Amino acid sequence: MNAATITTNTFQVSRGGTPVIGSVSYISLSHVAIFQPSVPLALNTVYAVTLITGIQTATGTPLSANVTWTFTTTSGIPVLADGMNIYYGDLHNHTSYSDGMGLPVDAFATARANGLDFFALTDHSQLLTDPEWQDTLNRADAATVDNAFVGLRGFEYTNLKGHVNVLDTATYVSHTDPNYDTFEKFYPWIGSQATAIGIFNHPIKTPLRDWNFNDWAFNAQATSRISLRGTPPYPANQYLLSLSTGWYLGAMGSADEHEIEWGRYRFMGIIAPQLTRTAVLDALRARRTFSIDDWRFGLAMRANGYWMGAIIPPASTISFTIVVVNQDPKALLTTLMLYDNGVLVSMVAPFTTDALYTWTPTIQGTPGHFYYVKAYHDNDIASPAAYTSPVWMADTTSFNHYLPMIQNNSVP
């Protein structure tokens, strides 16, 4: 597009016919136009956006006609218990600092413009330089605005047996360094990083790609730092294998973006009380996360009052509260399935387009077991399911006590 033709005269936002005052910018690399209102938009209000025919392509061709659409802002009232909110983001993205495109300044701006609440850049560490590492942090800090957008810096450790993203550390390490060229060497390092958040990326095991982390061999030094794992569309058996070997891993999805479409899709969400960097990182550490394959779908679970991701006390029964948030009036929630150690134990098929749906099953509790929910929606069984993070029921006789028994994410 011809950036000079995208202005407040040709990109207009209005409320009830009254223009909204703001500024307009255009990111040429990712072809994203941004309208920034001078003051926050009103809650629960319909706004109209109009693109005027004065907008031209780079070769001078104008829009053939004005284009108008509307959107409605949210009520601002939390839909979940305890004042919790759902925020959407992506924790796996690249720039030209490794094998992607563009610069961090482009990536953070594009991700926010595309509607993400939080966004991490995780360039491959073996390709990073120290100035690039610092610049990524500087750009993440500059992009972060409390209650609007959170930028995060991380790196991708790229081992032949699997890739791990690492967030919230002061330094980065690479598999090309002999000190960290195996997981047996990398795990002690990440375990020593007090604030690190590790993510097992795109797990799979095939003749061509053996990326399941040495068959998910458990490591006591790393388990308190690696808290998340990519879920399907990667093979579903890897989901269960990772949980069955002793890791405590929350569900998440990511774009693994290597081009310029940062933030165009949503693959994960978190449950947090507010949108700040501290709150986002706390939610990731507590595994209050879910994986999705839909822009307008949210999934949350509590078990005996504890949010998903928690390690809960032993109990003879577990009462679940599963909440589905559906922002698309045309999308159909077809099936919710509750699993105990990978075995289906309860299911409901609501076939509803309700904006908010709650399911409250109660099942027998077994110490040492883990529980999670899988959801299908959009009438497309071929689409990847959405997953909650599990909850784990502590077993005081055999449970691995490498993590606190009760995570700090329970109901007060």
The reported pLDDT for the residue numbered 399 is: 45
Average pLDDT of the chain, as a whole number = 92
**Coil, helix or strand at residue 109:** helix
Q: What is the percent of the chain with per-residue pLDDT over 70, rounded to a whole number?
A: 93
Q: For residue 318, what are its two tokens?
A: 């577990």
Q: pTM, whole model, 2 decimals?
A: 0.92
Contact 47, 41 (CB under 8 A): yes
The reported pLDDT for the residue numbered 384 is: 78
Contact 275, 83 (CB under 8 A): no
Question: Is the pLDDT assigned to residue 204 strictly greater than 50?
Answer: yes
Q: What is the mean pLDDT of residues 218-245?
A: 87
Question: Is the pLDDT assigned to residue 396 strictly greater than 80?
Answer: no
Q: How many residues does the chain have?
A: 412
Contact 147, 119 (CB under 8 A): no
Confidence label for 157 from pLDDT (cuts 50, 70 and 90)? very high
Q: For residue 352, what are its two tokens?
A: 């509803």
331 closest CA partner among 256, 386, 412: 386
Q: Is the dihedral of CA 200, 154, 87, 334 positive or negative?
A: negative
The alpha helices in 196-263, defined as continuous H runs, are 213-216, 236-244
The DSSP line for 29-50 is TTTEEEEEESSPPPTT-EEEEE
Least confident of 234-238, 298-302, 373-377, 389-393: 234-238
> In 10 A of CB 109, how many CB atoms?
25
Q: For residue 222, what are its two tokens?
A: 């790393």
Q: What is the percent of the chain with per-residue pLDDT over 90, rounded to a whole number?
A: 82
Q: What is the mean pLDDT of residues 142-157?
A: 97
Distance CA 66, CA 54 (A): 9
Identity of the residue numbered 15? R
Domain 297-412 has CATH 2.60.40.10: yes
The reported pLDDT for the residue numbered 405 is: 33
Distance CA 72, CA 85 (A): 18
R_g (Cα) of the chain, nearest Å: 22
Which tens digits make up the pLDDT trace of 42-85?
A: 999 999 999 999 999 999 999 999 999 999 998 888 889 899 99
Q: What is the mean pLDDT of residues 134-157?
A: 98
- What's the CATH number for 78-291? 3.20.20.140
168-196 per-residue burial string, b: 16 or more CB within 10 A, e: under 16: bbeebbbbeeeebeebeebbebbbebeeb
**Coil, helix or strand at residue 243:** helix
Query: Domain coordinates of the chain in residue numbers?
Result: 3-72, 78-291, 297-412
Question: Is the pLDDT assigned to residue 359 strictly greater than 70?
Answer: yes
The reported pLDDT for the residue numbered 234 is: 66
177 CB contacts (<8 Å, ≥6 apart)? Answer: none
Which tens digits make up the pLDDT trace of 273-298?
A: 999 999 999 999 999 999 998 677 89
> In 10 A of CB 110, how many CB atoms?
25
Our measurement of the distance from residue 176's CA atom to the centroid of its chain's CA atoms, rounded to an integer in Å, reads 28
Distance CA 46, CA 48 (A): 7
Distance CA 411, CA 20 (A): 41
| Cα angle 41-47-49, degrees, rounded to a multiple of 5 | 110
